[in-house]
Amino acid sequence: MKHPTPPPWVLALEEEDLYFVRRFILASGSLKALAQTYGVSYPTVRSRLDRLIAKVEALEEASDGDPMQQLVRQLVAGGELNRDLARRLLRAHRESLETEEHT
């Protein structure tokens, strides 16, 4: 039996994120059980899940954009880049693309 190719957002997740998703599934989606497994508070696990949700959403949105947009959105979702700087980078990127089109 041939296995389907995972969606791009799954392939873009880091190993740590995939491990978290696996643990979440094995905990039957219980954040309380997951918090106990990790030895942290419920709000800590909730925050981690919220960041992961944002990352998956950004990866889904980024699949429509060019590689630069994808990278910037992934960095924002992963907390490695703040939104203000991301907007400035994407604006500069768009302007450089427009300049290239007119030359």
Is the pLDDT confidence value at 48 over 80?
Answer: yes
Is the pLDDT confidence value at 1 over 70?
Answer: no
Q: What is the pLDDT of residues 14-34, one digit of tens each?
A: 899 999 999 999 999 999 999
Amino acid at the residue 7: P
In this structure, the number of other CB atoms found within 10 A of the CB of residue 69 comes to 19
Categorize the per-residue pLDDT at 63 as very low, low, confident or very high, splitting at 50, 70 and 90: low
> In terms of Cα–Cα distance, which of 13, 43, 22 is closest to 31?
43
Average pLDDT score over the chain: 86
- What is the model's pLDDT at position 9? 78
CB burial of residue 91 (10 Å; 0-12, 13-18, 19+): exposed
Question: Is 6 in a helix, a strand, or coil?
Answer: coil
Residues 15 and 4: their CA atoms lie apart, in Å, by 20
Q: Percent of the chain at pLDDT above 70?
A: 94
pTM above 0.95, yes or no: no
- What is the model's pLDDT at position 31? 96
What secondary structure does DSSP assign to 55-101, as a single string?
Answer: HHHHHHHHTTS-HHHHHHHHHHHTTSS-HHHHHHHHHHHHHHHHHHH
